[in-house]
Amino acid sequence: MSRSIEQPGHDGTRVLVVIISAAVAIVGSFIGSGALLGTPIAQVADGALAADATAVAPGGPAFSIWTLIYLGFIAHAIWQALPAHRADVRQRRLGWWLAASMILNAAWITCVQFEQLWLSVLVIIALLAVLTVAFGILTTERPSSRVEAVVVDATAYVYLGWVCVAVVANIAATLAAADIDPFGLGPDTWAVLVLTTVALVAILLAVAGHGRVTVTAAIVWGLAWIVVARTTGDGLNSRPAAIAAAVAATVAVLATAIARVPRQHTDNPNTQMTR
């Protein structure tokens, strides 16, 4: 059963906007993959966003996580449109933010397609901010069922975790494309610094979210593929970046495990699949 209605709202409008936003994001994904009109992301701007462009670029297979995220968009759009859920108080608070995140995702792809890398940085930072707000809503109001925990919570958590890694990769790619090396520290030093920042963000999310496993899993996924990309193949090798990414992943896992301990006996069973 859905939660009680606390106040009247334009539920139909919100539901429709979420559905349209999901559709826009899906179309954007086809453009970004090069399957529909556009150029594959890794090839735009002379390969600025390729897996070997910077020391913090994840390996190519890492981006397969988008398939899971986009499937989550579709599942969430359908779920929130069902009569039993469209007036749900939690969805009223969350729906607009998730719709905004989908539109920002498509906007990011558009920026990259037109080789506007600096603008893409602003868009992905805005995306991270929006997903952080959604994270706050999700972690303060528990899902009413296992289905909601998967199609709503898990989708948003994986999305947020991946974007945490994508932000630093995007900024690094933009700076490298512009041949900018702040303070002249060099790519390896900067890689260690930004990956340390990712580790700190992972700790903050673990503490704030009481150890949401799906967020950490997405962060670790991205970091693991940075390790792979920096240590194998003919691309850009960097032992400092690989070590920093491995350490960051370990820190993220440990922080999540520790954050879960105080609540392991009091969790609502419905939240376990997203934690």
Q: Assess if residue 64 is contained within a domain.
A: yes
Read off the pLDDT of each residue in 188-200 and give the average, rounded to a whole number. 97
Q: How far apart are the first and last CA of the chain?
A: 22
Percent of the chain clearing pLDDT 90 (strictly above): 83
Q: Assess if residue 3 is contained within a domain.
A: no
Alpha-carbon span 11 to 269, nearest angstrom? 28
pLDDT digits (tens, 9 = 90+) for 102-156: 999 999 999 999 999 999 999 999 999 999 999 999 999 889 899 999 999 999 9
Q: Assess if residue 249 is contained within a domain.
A: yes
Alpha-carbon span 59 to 257, nearest angstrom? 26
Q: Assess if residue 94 is contained within a domain.
A: yes
Alpha-carbon span 111 to 106, nearest angstrom? 9
By the 8 A CB rule, do 180 and 198 touch? no
Residue 6 has pLDDT above 50, yes or no: no
Alpha-carbon span 73 to 67, nearest angstrom? 10
Q: Assess if residue 4 is contained within a domain.
A: no
pTM: 0.91
Residue 251 structural domain:
12-260
Which segment of 34-43, 171-180, 199-208 scores lowest on mean pLDDT?
34-43
CA angle (129 as vertex; 248, 133 as ends), nearest 5: 100
Alpha-carbon span 58 to 52, nearest angstrom? 8
Q: Assess if residue 273 is contained within a domain.
A: no
| 11-41: burial string, b at 16+ Cβ within 10 Å, e else | beebbebbbebbebbbebbebbbeeeebeeb
Return the pLDDT at 264: 46
Q: Assess if residue 5 is contained within a domain.
A: no
Structurally, how many domains does the chain consist of?
1
Return the pLDDT at 4: 43
Read off the pLDDT of each residue in 56-71 and give the average, rounded to a whole number. 96
Residue type, 76: H
Q: Assess if residue 77 is contained within a domain.
A: yes
Residue 233 has pLDDT above 80, yes or no: no
